[in-house]
Amino acid sequence: MTDRELRATIRHRFTALRADVQQRRTELITETEAKLFERYRAENERADELDRGLKEVADEANRSCSEPPTGPGR
């Protein structure tokens, strides 16, 4: 094998290895995201529940502020 053929073979192999590394990187990121999502699922659901409750309280406060005052002397 000539130097030129060897360089071409090595270059080709490095290209293939780079693609393998990129594929594995993508797989690891996907796996990590899935694990994190699962780990914090309960906390996310609780935070969503609290957000809904706060929105209900804020909506009720806004409704009561926009109603004309009633009662004695009003």
- Reported as a single tens digit per residue, the pLDDT across 36-51 is 999 999 999 999 999 9
Provide the terminal-to-terminal Cα distance of the chain, rounded to the nearest Å: 101
Residues of the chain under the 70 pLDDT cut:
69, 71-74
Helix 41-66 crosses helix 3-39 at what angle (to 10 degrees)?
Answer: 50
Q: What is the pTM of this model?
A: 0.55
